[in-house]
Amino acid sequence: MNNSRQVKISKYLSYILRHNPGEIGLELALGGWISVDELLTACKKHRFPITRAELDEVVAQNDKKRFSYDSTGTLIRANQGHSVEINLQLEPAVPPDVLYHGTGHKSVESIMQNGLRKMSRHHVHLSPDIATAEAVGKRHGRPVVFAVDAAAMHKAGYEFYCSENGVWLVDSVSPEYLQQILKAVG
At residue 79, the pLDDT reads: 86
Element spanning 144, H or E: strand 143-149
Is a pLDDT exceeding 70 seen at residue 89?
A: yes
CATH number at 3-78:
1.10.10.970
The residue among 57, 60, 53, 58 whose CA lies nearest residue 16 is 58
CA–CA distance, 63 with 167 (Å, rounded to integer): 13
Q: Is 115 left (phi over 0), alpha (psi -120 to 50) or beta?
A: left
pTM above threshold 0.75: no
CATH topology of domain 92-182: ADP-ribosylation fold (3.20.170)
The domain segmentation of the chain, as residue ranges, is: 3-78, 92-182
- Quick one: pLDDT at residue 184? 60
For range 154-174, the mean pLDDT: 93
- Could you give the strand order of the β-sheet that contains 160-162, starting from the edge strand earlier in sequence? 92-93, 160-162, 168-170, 124-126
pLDDT tens-digit map of 98-150: 999 999 989 999 999 999 998 767 789 999 999 999 998 998 889 999 999 99
Rounded to whole angstroms, the maximal C-alpha distance in the chain is 50
